[in-house]
Structure 1
Amino acid sequence: MYVFLPSTIPGLAGVLDTGRADGTTAFAADPGPDGDAEEAEYEAMYAAADASLDLLAADPDAPRRRVVLAAVMPDHVVERRGGAGPHVVRVSVTEPVPYKKLASAHVDDEAAADDIAAGAAEDHELLWFAVQELRHLVGDA
């Protein structure tokens, strides 16, 4: 199952240092029987991006860039915690998410920082990054 984990640039640096991410708060797609799975995943990713804003509010020194980590985890370690939107469910991953389970990262570009600080994050699309590029994101911050 794809899960989307909210994070920050310092959080991403921690994942690279430890080799794992915390999945206490995560989001997953729930398209329903007639829904579009791809659209539901997009909505789940942006639910995680909204949660990333909360992490940024708690860390005023972090670069103002939302970070979402996408991971593929076995269903048996993902627990549903409740709805988070029409096609999104809030989940918890019951064990640390290993780096090798990360599929991608989705991050604001540097130009988004001013808008994020002004509360206009929704004006920006997240950029897709391959797992191999994550070290560069931390180094650029």
Structure 2
Amino acid sequence: MLHAMRVYIPTTLAGLAESYKAGELGPAPLDAFAVTPGLREWYVSDDIEELEYAALTRAAQASLRLLALHPDVPRRRLVVAVDVADGAVRHDPDRALDPAALGEVRLTRPVPFIEVAAVHADAADAERDVAAAAAAVGAADAGDDDAQFTVDGAEDHELLWYATQEIPNLIG
């Protein structure tokens, strides 16, 4: 049996709806996050749940950046957790310890919905904070401390876990 790896793909509700309709997440390559050697070294932890939470958090930050690029979609961060064969995942070891690239991986093929393990999404009550964070993320990336405070406000909201059979209700 091939070894599987848990990978976190950032998206939006609209992106999830399109992927669900298509039956797969894609097209490839897909930017995602996972427990990479660099992430392990940065967090100095052997606790896989803690490391996977760190990768999930990185994916949620990437989802926020997608929201900043797409002001017309609901203001909820969304991450799709998938289990894929190790061979479908690439990461750049040269960027392994770059804090901006921690946990970054690239999926080399589309991901059929059968490989989706779960979806993590903000609750509706997070939308105001997430909207403010999406509007501020560019300034925060440029070093604006007030904007970073606003972005951190979105991270105060824990993403909720949804089983795959709940996806139609989530996107509906």
TM-score, with structure 2 as normaliser: 0.75
Kept in 1, the 8 Å contact 2:6–2:81? The answer is: yes
Q: Which residue of 1 aligns with 2:75?
A: 64
User: What amino acid is the match of 1:97?
Assistant: V
For the pair shown, the structure with the greater C-alpha radius of gyration is: 2
TM-aligned CA deviation for residue 10 of structure 1: 0.3
- The more displaced of 64-73 and 22-31 is 22-31
Q: Superposed, which structure 2 residues align to 1:46-57 within 5 Å?
A: 46-57=57-68
Q: Superposed, which structure 2 residues align to 1:1-141 within 5 Å?
A: 1-22=5-26, 24-30=30-36, 31=40, 35-81=46-92, 82-83=95-96, 85=99, 88-119=102-133, 120-139=153-172
The whole-number CA distance in structure 2 between the counterparts of 1:89 and 1:46 is 10
RMSD: 1.8
TM-aligned CA deviation for residue 138 of structure 1: 0.6
The whole-number CA distance in structure 2 between the counterparts of 1:71 and 1:36 is 19
User: What amino acid is the match of 2:118?
Assistant: S
The whole-number CA distance in structure 2 between the counterparts of 1:28 and 1:57 is 23
The gaps in structure 2 that reach 5 residues or longer are 134-152
Give the fraction of aligned pairs with identical amino acids, expressed as a percent. 43
Larger proportion of strand: 1
User: What amino acid is the match of 1:37?
Assistant: I
Q: Deviations over 1:18-46 (max 9, x none)?
A: 01113521000133585211100000001
The whole-number CA distance in structure 2 between the counterparts of 1:8 and 1:101 is 18
Q: Deviations over 1:25-69 (max 9, x none)?
A: 100013358521110000000100000011101111100000000
Task: Could you list the structure 1 runs, at least 4 aligned residues long, displaced by more than 6 angstroms after superposition.
Answer: none
The gaps in structure 1 that reach 5 residues or longer are none
Q: Deviations over 1:97-139 (max 9, x none)?
A: 1100000000000000001112221110000000000010111
Kept in 1, the 8 Å contact 2:80–2:118? The answer is: yes
TM-aligned CA deviation for residue 85 of structure 1: 4.7
The whole-number CA distance in structure 2 between the counterparts of 1:104 and 1:134 is 9
